[in-house]
Amino acid sequence: MCILTILFISCMNKQGGNILTEGKIFSIENLTTQTFEINSERDTILKGKSGTLLHIYKNSFIDSNGQKISGEIEIELKEAIKSSDIILSGLTTTSNGLFLESGGMIYINASSNGNRLEISEGNFIGAIVPCQKLVEGMKVYEGEVDSNGINWINPSSILNDRIVQQMHETKSDTIEKTRSEKYIKVLNGSVNEIDSIIDYVELDTSTFKDEKRVEGNIKQRKQKRIQVNEEDFFISGLQNQKGTNSFNEDINTHYILSLKKLGWANIDRLFDDIRTKEVEFITKIENSNYYEQIYITLIVTKMSMYIPGYQRKDETYSFTHFDDELPKLPVGESAIILVTAYKGNKVYYSIKNFIITEKQRIDIILAETTNEKLKSEVKKRL
């Protein structure tokens, strides 16, 4: 299940530090690292614990010198699909200062003998990311990591619309849908004991009645894989043909992506709501000067929108870029203020519910807690 989010978590502390690099509660380390050992010379499909499917095609990787990699390689996957996972990982979803509505994030890395790999030119990884419902206008953004977190750049189209289009074409005009090449059954042997690798049986072409037709299909498929757009090859493989189990997922509950770079990918669209207005909105944290670090986030629950806050010159907190700017929020929506703070080795927090109005002030009193209790509370309430 995927919770569609607009995610803007406050990453800066009072001294300008970054939550991603300080090893505090909200950290990438909170995401499970899933590791898979695969043969780079075989087409392989992997499934993550949160439901992400990765279609990895053979001979798709190169090393830092541009040389193709053969033999065993390691694939690393992180999934930030649920709202609580995104919050606890400290991820942000802003694109050059603009707010984005996110349908989930994934991180993919590939390595050989400890050396990082890249996807070679003309190749890609097909990704299928689960969600409750497709949201129109979504694109896939690349994650650019810097000292302030992640900036999402270079949006490209998802593939769902093209799949629907191909479904309406006649069978004679579509690429051959039979998966005659074998998929391997990936052994469950990762260091993290991942039990969510999807098992695929090997397809035995001898079971087909017309062996000559099957042989012709294999040759035709190999030729067309070279001639057509690689994304179309991926799309055609997602459509079942009678007599063959393609292990497909419902395209109405999954985002279909073509990833040409390793690293972070985020499914987003620019935020837009007709109820959004400039509002006078101030948050006051009691005894704020007592704490060494404070992190504050405004969460619009129904829309799963997360906006970073900062401390103003008057020591109140707001959710804009600077003091003279008014925040733009959907009036009438339920929302939450999430605050975490630190003093020495002690952790403090507050989670406060309210309704957004055109003019309001929220007063916050922090309570002492522990890292584990705070993580549990976030998972329970978000």
> Looking at residue 284, what is its pLDDT?
95
> Distance of alpha carbon 228 from its chain centroid, rounded?
28
> Looking at residue 26, what is its pLDDT?
78
Contacts of 62 (CB under 8 A, 6+ apart): 68, 69, 117, 118, 119, 120
Rounded CA separation 116/247 (Å): 30
Q: Nearest Cα to 259, choosing from 301, 230, 293?
A: 230
Phi, psi dihedrals of residue 53, rounded to the nearest 5°:
-105, 135
Beta strand pairing call for 5-6 and 334-343? unpaired
| Domain residue spans of the chain | 5-158+253-270, 163-236, 276-381
Rounded CA separation 139/156 (Å): 5
DSSP state of 203: P
> Looking at residue 218, what is its pLDDT?
45
Rounded CA separation 106/127 (Å): 9
> Looking at residue 310, what is its pLDDT?
86
Model pTM?
0.70
Could you give the maximum distance between any two Cα atoms of the chain, in Å? 80
Per-residue CA distances from 303 to 20, 97, 262, 273, 299 (Å): 24, 19, 29, 10, 9
CATH superfamily of 276-381: Carboxypeptidase-like, regulatory domain (2.60.40.1120)
The DSSP code sequence of 218-274 is: HHHHHHHHHHS-HHHHHHHTTS-BTTB------TTSEEEEEE-SSEEEEEEEE---T
Tokens of 316: 């109140």
- Residues 287, 142: contact at Cβ < 8 Å? no
The DSSP code sequence of 344-357 is: TTEEEEEEEEEE--
Contacts of 201 (CB under 8 A, 6+ apart): 185
CATH number for the domain formed by residue range(s) 5-158+253-270: 2.60.220
> Looking at residue 60, what is its pLDDT?
94
Q: Which residues share a beta bridge with 264?
A: 107
User: pLDDT per position in the chain (382 positions), as tens?
Assistant: 443 333 333 334 443 333 333 446 778 888 999 999 999 999 899 999 999 999 999 999 999 999 999 999 999 999 998 888 888 887 877 777 677 778 889 999 999 999 999 999 989 999 999 987 788 888 999 988 876 678 889 999 898 877 776 665 544 454 444 433 433 333 333 433 333 344 333 333 333 334 444 444 544 544 444 434 566 667 666 655 555 444 456 667 889 999 999 999 998 877 677 888 899 998 999 999 999 989 888 887 777 677 778 899 999 998 887 888 888 888 999 999 999 999 998 999 999 999 999 999 999 999 999 988 988 888 888 7
Tokens of 222: 């190999």
Rounded CA separation 54/186 (Å): 13
- Indicate left, alpha or beta for 182 from its phi (over 0: left) and psi (-120 to 50: alpha): beta
| Cα Rg, the chain, nearest whole Å | 24
SS3 163: helix
Rounded CA separation 362/91 (Å): 25
